[in-house]
Amino acid sequence: MTANLLDYDLEGLALFCERLGEKRYRAVQLFRWIHQKGAVCFDDMTDLAKSLREKLATTAHLSAPSVLSQHQSSDGTIKWLFDVGGGDAVETVFIPEDDRGTLCISSQAGCAVGCRFCSTGHQGFSRNLSTAEIVGQLWFAEHFLRKHLKQSQRVISNVVMMGMGEPLQNYAALLPALRVMLDDHGYGLSRRRLTVSTSGVVPMMDRLALDCPVALAVSLHAPTDSLRDHLVPLNRKYPIAELFDACTRYLVHAPRDFITFEYCMLDGVNDQVEHALELVRLVRPQGGIGLSCKFNLIPFNPFPASGLVRSNGAQVQLFARTLSDAGIVTTIRKTRGDDIDAACGQLAGDVRDRTGVDERILRQRRIVIHPSPEATGADRGQA
């Protein structure tokens, strides 16, 4: 079985070349051909020795997930559905803006976290993606867009690991993928422009801080454990106090001097002024400096099985103003690609549910969304 070269960061590719009896500098040449030039045929890599190209032809291949469909929104957003085999598919979204091009990448086929407001979580979890399947989304999108837009320079300036899946639950494949994206011989992304989103996998946040610190976005969505337990079930394992401690530790290594908190606005659930004031107390305890952060308020993108409703615009503005008046940087995310189901929380792909998520979500919907303190104490630790 031949090796898929999209699975390797530069160090891994250098080791692969050494096993072929080649010098390590050949890996740099090969890496550039793959990621900067988008080459798929070894014979096209003209500055490689013919003997190396012959070795590669029998020991390696370049294979990104194949495209099942492509949809373009009226606002220019593009969504691709990629086939990752075994009946599974994942979605990737490109969001063009005047000053940047952002690619939203998936890390898993489905997601095991099961957040109430996320369509991906409702689909359940099938499997982790390989490094090649993660990098392959960027590799395809970058070189497709260059050809489509007739540009020779880099089109994608920002990457967010905010597609399908919980990236930090697929850490072994994620880490080399991040290194490929950051490498100057690859895509040359800035650490500030590469963002990993997490629902709060505390031990892996600590590992990422040491291994490859990039911008971090934390899916918070609630100011209290009692509410977050039911919106983000992972909170039962890593409650807010532990999560905030991990955020504080991460900031020591982070390329930015703040953590971004993602907050999905759910009508009558987490969008009241009282919730905003609780967030203020959470991040600015006793009026102190607290945790350096910004809030990104996300309009909920409804799907039938959620049983949830989007907060109205006036309520979102009031919520944002409450945070801003307390000195917390707050933005409201502009919805993009919702006419092609490419907006935040809408990515569903096509995965085989092996986690019984339908049953779990139905059970959650029978639970009162504001449980008593006594009930939440009994729930904790059962995740």
User: Which pLDDT belongs to residue 340?
Assistant: 53
Confidence label for 153 from pLDDT (cuts 50, 70 and 90): confident
- Average pLDDT for the chain: 89
Q: Which is catalytic among the residues 212, 247, 264, 344?
A: 344
Encoded tokens for 120 = 């991906």
Mean pLDDT for the stretch of residues 368-375: 38
Is 17 an active-site residue? no
Is 166 an active-site residue? no
Q: Is 365 exposed, middle or buried (0-12, 13-18, 19+ CB in 10 A)?
A: middle
Q: How far apart are CA 129 and CA 268, in angstroms?
A: 36
Segment 262-271, tens digit of pLDDT = 999 999 999 9
User: Which pLDDT belongs to residue 23?
Assistant: 94
To the nearest whole percent, how much of the chain has pLDDT over 90?
78
Q: How far apart are CA 110 and CA 91, in angstroms?
A: 10
pLDDT exceeds 80 at position 147: yes
Confidence label for 10 from pLDDT (cuts 50, 70 and 90): very high
Q: Where are the alpha helices (DSSP H) in the chain?
A: 10-19, 25-31, 50-59, 119-123, 131-149, 171-182, 202-211, 225-231, 240-251, 273-283, 313-325, 357-365, 373-379
Q: Which is catalytic among the residues 17, 22, 91, 212?
A: 91
Confidence label for 380 from pLDDT (cuts 50, 70 and 90): very low
Segment 73-93, tens digit of pLDDT = 888 999 999 999 999 999 999
Instruction: State the pairing for strand pair 60-61/3-4.
Output: parallel
Q: How far apart are CA 282 and CA 326, in angstroms?
A: 12
Segment 217-237, tens digit of pLDDT = 999 999 999 999 999 999 999
DSSP 301-362: ---GGG---BPPHHHHHHHHHHHHHTT-EEEEPPP-SGGGT-STT----B----S-HHHHHH
Mind listing the domains of the chain with CATH numbers?
A: 3-61 (1.10.150.530), 66-379 (3.20.20.70)
Which has more confidence, 367 or 315?
315
Q: Which residues of 93-103 are buried (b: 16+ CB within 10 A; e: fewer)?
A: bbbbeeeebbb
Dihedral, 280, 281, 283, 289 alpha carbons, nearest 10: 100
